[in-house]
Amino acid sequence: MTDIQRSGCAINLALEVVGDKWSLLIIRDIIFGNRRHYRELLTKSDEGISSNILADRLKTLVEAGVLTREDDPTHKQKGIYSLTEQGIELLPVLAQMAAWGVKYLPVSEELGIRAQLLRDGGPKMWAEFMDELRETHLGIRRRRKSGPSVGERLRKAYEAIVAKHAATKRKA
């Protein structure tokens, strides 16, 4: 965002980092969509961010310490964006916001299922998901839990709804 500081209030400072129209959506795609490259973030999101805005936000988020960028060893031009611990800890913010959205706004069934699961799972589920993100993004090993990960559970629930809708459509 801007460099000037409006006030030392916690909420204001947080908004100066992620309080624009796109930053939290980018972080959402990294967290829930497992996007790690510029091109993935540009093309595989539902909202369609402009390339210049995406480039600018990624730079800003790296400067703010929410993301890191490193070169992809498998491809000289690719960069890999990873969440920092600071970025991972935005998950509760996103979860609360999603819970609010799902309660009061016309969220589509496909896209709302993850918000609902995350709300029902509560802070315990968030913590587990954050541990998974620490493993993926920071390389911090975690104790293996039995059963599927939170990430997998969210993904499968989403896919199940999409399949259900596709089936309904076929019948009609």
Which chain residues interact with its own copies by CB under 8 A? 1, 6-15, 17, 19-21, 24-25, 28, 46-48, 65, 86, 89-90, 92-108, 110-112, 115, 123
Q: Provide the 10 A C-beta neighbour count for residue 80.
A: 16
- Considering the complex, what minimum distance in angstroms separates the CB of residue 78 from its own copies? 26
Amino acid sitting at position 117: L
Can you tell me the distance from the alpha carbon of 148 to that of 141, in angstroms, rounded to the nearest whole number? 16
Among 39, 44, 145, 165, binds DNA (CB under 7 A): 39
Can you tell me the distance from the alpha carbon of 104 to that of 98, in angstroms, rounded to the nearest whole number? 10
Among 9, 13, 55, 163, binds DNA (CB under 7 A): 55
Nearer to its own copies by Cβ, of 54 and 79: the residue is: 54
Nearer to its own copies by Cβ, of 58 and 87: the residue is: 87
| Pick from 18, 162, 1: nearest CA to 87 | 18
Nearer to its own copies by Cβ, of 79 and 121: the residue is: 121
Inter-residue contact 71 to 85 (CB < 8 Å): no
Can you tell me the distance from the alpha carbon of 28 to that of 18, in angstroms, rounded to the nearest whole number? 12
| CB hemisphere CA count around 147 (13 angstroms) | 3
Amino acid sitting at position 53: I
Among 78, 116, 138, 158, binds DNA (CB under 7 A): 78
Nearer to its own copies by Cβ, of 79 and 101: the residue is: 101
Binding segment for DNA (CB under 7 A), chosen from 47-55, 90-98, 133-141, 155-163, is 47-55
